[in-house]
Amino acid sequence: MEKLFGTFGIRRIVNEVLTPDFALKLAYSFGTYVNQETVVVGRDARKHSEMIYDAVISGLLACGCQVIELGLTATPTLQWACRQWGAWGAMITASHNPPQWNGIKFMEKTGKGLDREKDVEVEKIFYSEKYHLVPWNDVPQKTIKRDINDDYIRAIEAKVNLPLIQQSRFRVVVDCANGAPCLITPQLLSDLGCRVVSLNAHPDGRFPGRNPEPTPDNLTDLLTLITHASFHIGFAQDGDGDRLIVIRPNGEFVPGDYSVSLVANELAQQNIPGPIVTTVATSSMLSDIAKKTGRGFIATAVGDLVVAKALQESQGIFGCEENGGMIFPDFVWGRDGAIAAARILHIMATKEKSLDDLLQELPQYFQIKMKKTVNPEKKEKILNEIDRLTAKEKNRVTIDGYKVTYPDGSWLLIRPSGTEPLLRIFAESQEKQRAEAIVQKYLDIINSI
């Protein structure tokens, strides 16, 4: 049986694999699995999302599911709604992928994405075509709820010190990527009393302003604007609003490890129990913060669903990834860019410190993150050699690739891509030369094979 779902949902190019007929059958499968229970359905701003959205709703209704239709919204907003109402979820989005892509993410009643075991059950129904379609007179009417974004914004505001942030009158620039965040983040920042300048702030599924992936190369307009004006902070999001990128007042891109550590450092000092949960690819800053504050620390394989699951099981206080994704377990069981922005402003207001000052308080490390393309025919041989060499090291972790931590605290992680002939290489040390030397050692080995 071919695997349909990736780490979180399915993504394909529209009308090649992801056709309305495919989406309908996938909705039949999910609808059969949840057995006529309530499903919350939302979509991002892509020009073909409404087409896929209508097909998914039709399939769910045909299976007798009670459908709550949210329309255009962000992924974390839908996840928040699932948790509030105890309903399953279906989100039509391809997140940061280019405009020709789309996807479908299914959520549990907690709002967390389906784990692999549930994915497999849906896949079995899909391939067997053993759908449970109800008689015509049992097909329910859908419920339309269009004020979910306002409810979600108010819920975020209740999680921070609203009056104090409003008094600070922060000057903020935000790039919404012409995606679902357009309906949420500018309004949230305005409610927080910020003086807001918004870029790419009208929903447009062609993404005319920039590629929805919030990388430095795609954020040139934002970086230029922030350096030519006086802002306290800049934010950028991806197409479905689950990630947040932070920009310093001088236009410098804040690495995700630093933005998540800034939030973790503040939360860890609160009198709330629970470990910090992150991935093996994230900076040692997180484990340093956990150790300093006497908290537990859990490192998982890479992936927000893996982090969310470990966060639930451990009753953790905060979950995050090295790309800047943050999970606040008292709010949404998934990455959420909007509440992350509000939380950072809350920290700046309550600490009465600038973004730069807060970043300076964090442990400082030099990081290397790169991709190495390899000959597909030699990939297995290369991985076997990396396995053999890293096995000699005293502190090795293999839950996701090969990670070695050295006595001086420096570390190296090599993760093979599951879909491409490349290796993802991460290294970190307190000294630049040390990190470079660690990476070069293994690059030489890879190149020699």
Kindly report, residue by residue over 249-285, the tens digit of the pLDDT: 999 999 999 999 999 999 999 999 999 999 999 999 9
What is the model's pLDDT at position 251? 95
Helix, strand, or coil (residue 359): helix
Helix, strand, or coil (residue 177): coil
Q: Is 427 left (phi over 0), alpha (psi -120 to 50) or beta?
A: beta
Whether the pLDDT of residue 300 is over 80: the answer is yes
What is the model's pLDDT at position 407? 95
What value does the CA radius of gyration of the chain take, rounded to a whole number of Å?
22
pLDDT tier at 8, thresholds 50, 70, 90: confident
Q: Which positions ≥6 away from 226 have C-beta within 8 Å?
A: 173, 234, 247, 249, 250, 251
What is the model's pLDDT at position 1? 76
For residues 341 and 244, give the distance between their C-alpha atoms in angstroms, rounded to a whole number: 7
Mean pLDDT, rounded, of the chain: 95
Helix, strand, or coil (residue 28): helix
What is the model's pLDDT at position 6? 82
Provide the CATH topology of domain 151-252. Answer: Alpha-D-Glucose-1,6-Bisphosphate; Chain A, domain 3 (3.40.120)
Residue 212, CA distances (Å) to 217, 302, 408, 444 in order: 11, 21, 38, 35
Domain at 366-448: CATH architecture: 2-Layer Sandwich (3.30)
| Strand ranges in 101-180 using DSSP code E only, listed in sequence order | 101-107, 143-144, 171-175
The type of residue at 253 is F
For residues 390 and 326, give the distance between their C-alpha atoms in angstroms, rounded to a whole number: 30
Homologous superfamily (CATH) of 10-146 is: Alpha-D-Glucose-1,6-Bisphosphate, subunit A, domain 3 (3.40.120.10)
What is the DSSP secondary-structure string of 86-121?
T-EEEEE--TTS-TTEEEEEEE-TTSPBPPHHHHHH
Count of beta carbons in the 10 Å neighbourhood of residue 220: 10
Between CA 424 and CA 428, with CA 425 as vertex, the angle to 5 degrees is 145
Between CA 78 and CA 371, with CA 239 as vertex, the angle to 5 degrees is 120
Note whether 71 and 146 are within 8 A (CB).
yes
Kindly report, residue by residue over 148-197, the tens digit of the pLDDT: 999 999 999 999 999 999 999 999 999 999 999 999 999 999 999 999 99
Helix, strand, or coil (residue 26): helix
The type of residue at 114 is L
Judge if 10-146 and 151-252 fold alike in CATH terms. yes
Counts for the chain of helices (H) and strands (E), in that order: 15, 20
What is the DSSP secondary-structure string of 370-419?
EEEE--GGGHHHHHHHHHHHHTTSSSEE-SSSEEEE-TTS-EEEEEE-SS
What is the model's pLDDT at position 418? 73
For residues 130 and 252, give the distance between their C-alpha atoms in angstroms, rounded to a whole number: 53
For residues 172 and 51, give the distance between their C-alpha atoms in angstroms, rounded to a whole number: 35
Note whether 206 and 233 are within 8 A (CB).
no
Helix, strand, or coil (residue 152): helix
Domain at 256-360: CATH architecture: 3-Layer(aba) Sandwich (3.40)
What is the DSSP secondary-structure string of 301-313?
-SSHHHHHHHHHH
CA 386 to chain centre: 29
pLDDT tier at 127, thresholds 50, 70, 90: very high
For residues 343 and 337, give the distance between their C-alpha atoms in angstroms, rounded to a whole number: 10
Q: Looking up tokens 């690495």, which residue turns up?
A: 255
For residues 78 and 137, give the distance between their C-alpha atoms in angstroms, rounded to a whole number: 29
Which helix (H) or strand (E) element contains residue 98? none
Q: What does DSSP assign to residue 68?
A: E
What is the model's pLDDT at position 2? 80
For residues 126 and 55, give the distance between their C-alpha atoms in angstroms, rounded to a whole number: 15
How many Å from the N-terminal Cα to the C-terminal Cα in the chain? 34
Residues across the chain: 449
Catalytic residues: 95
What is the model's pLDDT at position 336? 98
What is the model's pLDDT at position 5? 86
Mean pLDDT for 2-28 is 92
pLDDT tier at 79, thresholds 50, 70, 90: very high
What is the model's pLDDT at position 301? 96
Note whether 152 and 141 are within 8 A (CB).
no
- Give the global pTM: 0.94
Whether the pLDDT of residue 449 is over 90: the answer is no
Kindly report, residue by residue over 385-430, the tens digit of the pLDDT: 999 999 999 999 999 999 999 999 999 999 998 777 899 999 999 9
Q: What does DSSP assign to residue 113?
A: B
What is the model's pLDDT at position 447? 92
For residues 178 and 46, give the distance between their C-alpha atoms in angstroms, rounded to a whole number: 9
For residues 156 and 149, give the distance between their C-alpha atoms in angstroms, rounded to a whole number: 11
Whether the pLDDT of residue 46 is over 80: the answer is yes
Please indicate whether residue 229 or residue 60 has the higher confidence score (pLDDT): 60
Q: Which two tokens stand for residue 435?
A: 């990190």
Domains of the chain, by residue range, sit at 10-146, 151-252, 256-360, 366-448
